[in-house]
């Protein structure tokens, strides 16, 4: 799996603008504050003044790092996406059959999304500027590459039938993203059993499609 780890990096992830600054670097503080605000209210309602206040810096300092809100939101997407992809990729490179790893990887993504509903909805479905949407599409593709890696291994091992691994991976991402939109936008509390049941149904559907057999998914026990 060593060569495959390069397949899951989010292109353009978290790059600092090339602007000179004096004093301590405020970049991590700004991103942390912006991410926290997005997780509370979404991309569209975040104001630059609120980010500056949350980061404990002057608004002028914020604009020296990020001359426009869109640039800041792109960095928030890249940072958050890379974290999520890294978590799922760690499962993809773990032990177990391809079906087991595919199910657990998809479940981990869905479970984390349902427990951070507002931020996940922003990353999946919130209307955004074209530049931010382009950053989100990179996230979608990186996540699909994780699933494609598992499917390729399953096909090589004879566990899955021959198929277009890329198309199957894209379908899984599409099922997860579209299938979770309503739960993420709802007022249902994250630990409501109906949310987990919905996620399990989506993942079971994906496993049946990839494997060509009547597989069903059971979530792993909570640690």
Each residue's pLDDT tens digit, 14-42: 554 444 444 468 999 999 999 999 999 89
Q: Which two tokens stand for residue 87?
A: 């978590």
Contacts of 32 (CB under 8 A, 6+ apart): 55
Taking the alpha carbons at both ends of the chain, their separation in whole angstroms is 26
Region of poorest pLDDT, from 84-93, 146-155, 198-207, 212-221: 212-221
Position 20 scores a pLDDT of 42
| Angle in degrees, CA 61, 67, 71, rounded to 5 | 120
Crossing angle for the helix pair 98-115 and 130-156, nearest 10 degrees?
150
Strand, coil or helix: 192: coil
**What are the structural domains, with CATH classification, of the chain?**
77-211 (1.10.357.10)
Position 206 scores a pLDDT of 95
Position 220 scores a pLDDT of 81
**Side-chain half-sphere CA neighbours of 111 within 13 A:** 16
- Tally the residues of the chain: 223
What's the whole-number mean pLDDT along residues 41-50? Answer: 93
Q: Which two tokens stand for residue 13?
A: 């992830």
Mean pLDDT (the chain, rounded): 87
Nearest-angstrom CA–CA distance, 160 and 167:
14
Confidence check: pLDDT of 187 > 90: no
Nearest-angstrom CA–CA distance, 150 and 89:
10
In the structure, what pLDDT confidence band is assigned to residue 2 with cuts at 50, 70 and 90?
very low
């Amino acid at each position: 799996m060593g060569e495959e780890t390069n397949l899951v990096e989010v292109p353009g992830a978290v790059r600092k603008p090339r602007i000179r600054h004096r004093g301590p670097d405020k970049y991590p503080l700004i991103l942390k504050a912006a991410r926290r605000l997005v997780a509370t209210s979404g991309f569209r309602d975040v104001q630059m003044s609120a980010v500056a206040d949350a980061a404990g810096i002057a608004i002028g300092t914020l604009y020296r790092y990020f001359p426009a809100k869109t640039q800041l939101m792109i960095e928030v997407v890249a940072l958050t996406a890379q974290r999520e992809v890294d978590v799922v990729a760690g499962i993809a490179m773990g032990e177990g059959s391809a079906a087991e790893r595919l199910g657990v990887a998809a479940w981990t993504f869905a479970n984390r999304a349902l427990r951070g509903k507002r931020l996940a909805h922003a990353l999946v479905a919130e209307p955004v500027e074209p530049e931010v949407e382009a950053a989100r599409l990179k996230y979608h593709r990186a996540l699909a590459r994780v699933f494609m890696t598992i499917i390729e291994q399953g096909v090589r091992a004879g566990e899955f039938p021959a198929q277009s691994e890329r198309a199957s991976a894209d379908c899984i991402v599409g099922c997860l993203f579209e299938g979770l939109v309503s739960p993420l936008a709802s007022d249902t509390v994250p630990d409501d059993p109906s949310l987990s049941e919905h996620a399990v149904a989506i993942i079971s559907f994906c496993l049946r499609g990839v494997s060509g057999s009547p597989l069903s998914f059971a979530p792993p026990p909570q640690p």
